[in-house]
Structure 1
Amino acid sequence: MTDAAQIADRYIAVWNETDPARRRTLLADGWTKNATYVDPLAAGEGHEQIGALIGAVQERFPGFRFALSGGVDGYGDKIRFSWALGPENEPDMIKGTDVALVEGERLKSVIGFLDKVPAGA
């Protein structure tokens, strides 16, 4: 049985990892080799592209951190969770909801939705 909460926790950890080498390790451990990520602003396929996309978000929003927001749902090979992104004093400046397909305990495909994005972000 898939542990949706554990997968979501690992997902958030990848987005918060600022060391590129460590991020590559986390991607290799938690994502399938040909995993895909897509949201309204970006897309990537495979560990290298997804890692670069995460690095670009960190450059755009230095010091911001992701955190899970609310519960994590899952059934079969699907999970859904919401997250918040922001600096420590405004942790929910940006919000989103992601839906993912998993293969065992690894992410196979993530589709991200942006629920709250301030002007100019």
Structure 2
Amino acid sequence: MSETRNIDAQTLADRYVAVWHETDEHRRRDAIAALWVPDGQHYVGERAARGYEALEARIRGSHEKTSGMTATGSALSRMPGCCVTSSPFYWEMLPADSETVLATGLEILTVDAEGRILVDYQFVPARP
């Protein structure tokens, strides 16, 4: 059984949110590869994405719909498992020029011992 590396939950949440804001397609692909395992999964409602290409399409589509918005993430306590860690966090989406919250969500990320996302469950809407 491998030992889970000490993963800072807020850093993981910040990196996750940054991927969803990256506008440069090459940097976004690199960030996805650095954050998810090659067959990483993302679920929201009935939609699912698996692997880098599907994750890129999902993130690009979301970015196109929410252009001009900003999001912030607030990490919650981690729940250690045998060789994976669950790292949940809430996020809020706001217009870049306003304090008005337009959307909220809850992410539950299951990560490997290196801190890369295995499975990402997104729940929208959510409130802390």
Q: State the TM-score bracket (shorter-chain normalisation).
A: 0.7 to 0.9
Unaligned runs of 5+ in 2: 1-5
Higher Cα Rg, which structure = 2
Q: Give runs of aligned pairs for residues 23-102 of structure 1, distance below 5 A.
A: 23-40=28-45, 42-68=47-73, 70-76=74-80, 77-88=85-96, 89-90=98-99, 92-102=101-111
**TM-score, normalised by the number of residues in structure 1:** 0.86
Deviations 1:52-90 (A, max 9, x none): 11110111122112211x443212111100001121214
Paired residues of 2:75 and 2:87 also in contact (CA < 8 A):
no
Is the deviation greater in 71-80 or in 26-35? 71-80
* CA positional deviation for 1:97: 0.4
Question: What code does the residue aligned with 1:81 have?
Answer: F
Once residues 57 and 122 of structure 2 are traced to their aligned partners in structure 1, the CA distance between those partners, rounded to angstroms, is 16
Q: Conserved in 1, the CA contact under 8 Å of 2:13 and 2:75?
A: no
Kindly provide the amino acid, as one letter, of the partner of residue 72 in structure 1: L
Q: Percent identity?
A: 28
When the two structures are aligned, how many residues end up with a matched partner? 115
Q: Equivalent residue for 1:107?
A: 117
Supply the RMSD in Å over aligned alpha carbons. 1.5
Distance 1:41 1:85 in 2: 21
Contact 1:34 1:108 in 2 (8 A): yes
Structure with the larger strand share? 1
Taking the aligned partners of 1:24 and 1:83, their CA distance within structure 2 comes to 22
Pairwise CA distance, 1:91: 5.1
Stretches of structure 1 that go unaligned for 5 or more consecutive residues are 117-121
- For residue 15 of structure 1, the aligned residue among 3, 12, 20 is 20
